[in-house]
């Protein structure tokens, strides 16, 4: 598994990439492999507030429906519109084209509790 | 965990495995939807070795199976397969199986993986109760089973056998391929034409090479590619075929599953007729106006998928429960099956499904969702 080292990882399999005060969030390869084919993505609306550790949307797959969580607080500034018509992007490119949501961060404290790529891979049993 | 004899084959094709009924089975190789579309458009090959294969043989084999099966067995011809239910005394479903008549007193029964041990025990109990002279042998681990399914499959097989394409639906033949004894049946669980093949376990690698030698299954436009249990499930759901643990179960009345063709309630009325276990209970249910619930097809609005166990509401009143659901890869909208109160089972009824998240608008529709297109004969010039 190629896990990018430019971002941090939650136990719930979201990657968090902080760039200035903008956080981009997505699911890891491990997560999408476990979910199998993604069929539907619903992220919270642009402009809505995000609570640190709160739910920012849902991802549905052939297998199950999962909540997506974000460790930082702030405001949703963009969601990945490509996923509406092509949810399979999340399976084929979860770390880049399959990103889920962008958040303007007001509370970044949660980032400190995240894992780096190596620790995350270990936690997945690799 | 039991490993299939085709484990090496799956690994070679990069399978992702899941545990299913105690077996380690491939869920998919590339993606579930890709494999689904491959089967609908051309052909796929599934490992179904986890399905139970129980041999019933001997002077009383027919009598024993007549008692166990919801359809007649004695009138089956050699080389014929028959889909039937195994019911409990209350008329619930213990399993749905395919009986294959090998010889006059020799049958092979293909059962669901999750029910293999239960059904073996049931067969042995009923045999002992009636002191039937029959041997019941579980051949599951001695054999492998693959399903090759899709619109191009029979044409591909025609290149290696002239006999198999002449088999009618629900017939089988036994072929001696080199030194292998191979059972090939024109059956399947995808809604497509195709075959299911039973091969001795220790020969399966060689048999797969022989079967696939003319097809480059690794090329991107291969006519036949490996497909996993994930797509098997979405394919059977589009085809409206029930799955044990979803549409069939011990507490689900056999008459509610849309399988009346597989339930012969007057089975005991002809000469030497034998009633099947559960028949009396089902006759009573039929006489009292039929089962309380009915299996229905459901077409959902939007793109969200319902899940097994979701409640079905009619104007805020619960009328049933979802048994299976997926986003249909062929049709492009979400579909589901479920049981609803018989008086509300009419197609066209607008319903809502409570997923525990947003409620989903949906409509009852006839089953199946998908029927394979009829082959159009090539017009002569």
Rg for chain B, CA atoms, rounded: 21
- pLDDT higher than threshold 90 for residue B357: no
Beta strands B93-103 and B106-111, pairing class: antiparallel
Q: Is residue A19 part of a domain?
A: yes
Q: Are residues B284 and B204 in the same domain?
A: yes
Q: Are B54 and B65 a contacting pair, CB within 8 Å?
A: no
Rounded Cα–Cα distance for residues B379 and B209 (Å): 36
Tell me the CATH number at B297.
Answer: 2.40.30.110
Query: B59-88, pLDDT tens digit by residue?
Result: 999 999 999 999 999 999 999 999 999 999
Number of domains in chain A: 1
Last residue of a domain, one of B251, B272, B291: B291
Domain coverage including residue A40: 8-110
Tell me, yes or no, whether B380 lies in a domain: no
User: Helix B116-130 crosses helix B61-68 at what angle (to 10 degrees)?
Assistant: 120
A93 touches chain B (CB under 8 A): no
Give tens-digit pLDDT for B243-271. Answer: 999 999 999 999 999 999 999 999 999 87
pTM, two decimal places: 0.94
Q: Does A24 touch chain B (CB under 8 A)?
A: no
**A106 falls within a domain:** yes
**What's residue B381's pLDDT?**
46
The answer to whether residue B381 is domain-embedded is: no
**Residue A72 sits in a domain of what CATH number?**
2.40.50.100
- What's the mean pLDDT in A2-8? 94
A-chain CB neighbours of B33 within 8 Å are: 37, 62, 88
**Among B291, B311, B339, residue at a domain's last position:** B291
Does residue A62 belong to the interface with chain B, where contact is any CB pair within 8 Å?
Answer: yes
What lies within 8 Å, CB to CB, of B255 at 6+ separation is: B91, B263, B282, B285, B286, B290, B291
Question: Of B268, B291, B314, which residue is a domain's last?
Answer: B291
Phi and psi based region of residue A54 (left: phi greater than 0; alpha: psi -120 to 50; beta: remaining): beta
Task: Establish if B199 belongs to a structural domain.
Answer: yes
Query: B13 and B140: one domain?
Result: yes
Query: Which residues, 6 or more positions from B207, have their beta carbon under 8 angstroms from its beta carbon?
Result: B177, B180, B182, B197, B199
Say if CB B17 and CB B10 are below 8 A apart.
yes
Nearest Cα residue in chain A from B325: A62
pLDDT band at B378 (very low <50, low <70, confident <90, very high): low
Rounded to whole angstroms, what are the CA distances from B186 to B35, B76, B219, B376? Answer: 21, 16, 26, 20
CA-atom Rg of chain A in angstroms: 13
> Same structural domain for residues B147 and B57?
yes
Asked whether residue A30 is domain-assigned, the answer is yes
Domain that holds residue B134: 1-291
Condensed to tens digits (0 to 9), the pLDDT of residues B266-293 reads: 999 987 789 999 999 999 999 999 999 9
Token pair belonging to B263: 């339930």
CA terminus-to-terminus distance, chain A: 8
Q: How far apart are CA B372 and CA B356, in angstroms?
A: 34
- Min distance A12 CA to chain B CA atoms (Å): 20
* Number of independent structural domains in chain B: 2
């Amino acid at each position: 598994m190629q896990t990018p080292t430019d971002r941090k990882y939650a136990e719930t399999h979201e990657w968090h990439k902080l760039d200035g005060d903008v956080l981009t969030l997505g699911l890891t390869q491990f997560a999408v492999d476990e979910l199998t084919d993604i069929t539907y993505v619903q992220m919270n609306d642009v402009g809505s507030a995000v609570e640190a550790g709160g739910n920012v949307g849902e991802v549905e797959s052939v297998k199950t429906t999962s909540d997506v969580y974000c460790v930082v607080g702030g405001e949703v500034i963009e969601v990945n519109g490509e996923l509406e018509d092509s949810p399979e992007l999340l399976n084929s490119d979860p770390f880049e084209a399959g990103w889920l949501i962008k958040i303007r961060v007001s509370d970044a404290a949660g980032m400190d509790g995240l894992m780096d790529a190596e620790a995350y891979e270990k936690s997945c049993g690799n | 965990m039991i490993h299939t004899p085709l484990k090496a084959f799956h690994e070679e094709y990069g399978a992702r495995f899941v545990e299913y009924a105690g077996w380690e089975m491939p869920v998919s190789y590339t993606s579930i939807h890709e494999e689904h579309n491959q089967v609908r458009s051309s052909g796929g090959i599934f490992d179904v070795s986890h399905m139970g294969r129980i041999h019933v043989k001997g002077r009383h084999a027919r009598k024993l199976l007549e008692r166990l099966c919801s359809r007649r067995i004695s009138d089956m011809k050699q080389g014929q397969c028959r889909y039937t239910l195994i019911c409990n005394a209350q008329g619930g479903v213990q399993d749905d199986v395919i009986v294959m008549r090998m010889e006059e007193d020799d049958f092979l029964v293909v059962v669901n993986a999750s029910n293999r041990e239960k059904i073996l025990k049931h067969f042995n109990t009923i045999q002992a109760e009636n002191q039937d002279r029959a041997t019941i042998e579980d051949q599951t681990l001695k054999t492998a089973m693959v399903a090759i399914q899709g619109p191009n499959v029979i044409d591909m097989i025609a290149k290696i056998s002239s006999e198999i394409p002449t088999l009618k639906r629900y017939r089988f033949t036994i072929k001696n391929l080199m030194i292998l004894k191979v059972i090939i049946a024109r059956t399947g669980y995808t809604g497509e034409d195709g075959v299911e093949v039973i091969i001795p376990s220790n020969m399966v690698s060689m048999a797969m090479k022989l079967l696939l030698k003319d097809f480059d299954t690794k090329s991107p436009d291969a006519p036949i590619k490996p497909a996993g249990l994930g797509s098997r499930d979405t394919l059977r759901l589009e085809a409206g075929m029930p799955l044990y643990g979803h549409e069939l179960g011990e507490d689900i009345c056999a008459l509610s599953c849309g399988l009346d063709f597989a339930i012969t309630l007057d089975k005991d009325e002809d000469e030497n007729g034998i009633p099947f276990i559960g028949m009396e209970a089902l006759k009573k249910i039929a006489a009292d106006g039929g089962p309380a619930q009915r299996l229905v097809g459901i077409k959902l609005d939007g793109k969200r998928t319902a899940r097994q166990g979701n409640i079905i509401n009619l104007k805020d009143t619960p009328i049933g429960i979802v048994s299976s659901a997926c986003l249909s890869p062929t049709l492009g909208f979400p579909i589901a099956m479920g049981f609803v109160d018989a008086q509300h089972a009419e197609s066209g009824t607008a319903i809502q499904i409570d997923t525990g998240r947003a409620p989903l608008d949906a409509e009852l529709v006839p089953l199946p969702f998908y029927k394979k297109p009829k082959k159009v004969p090539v017009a002569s010039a």
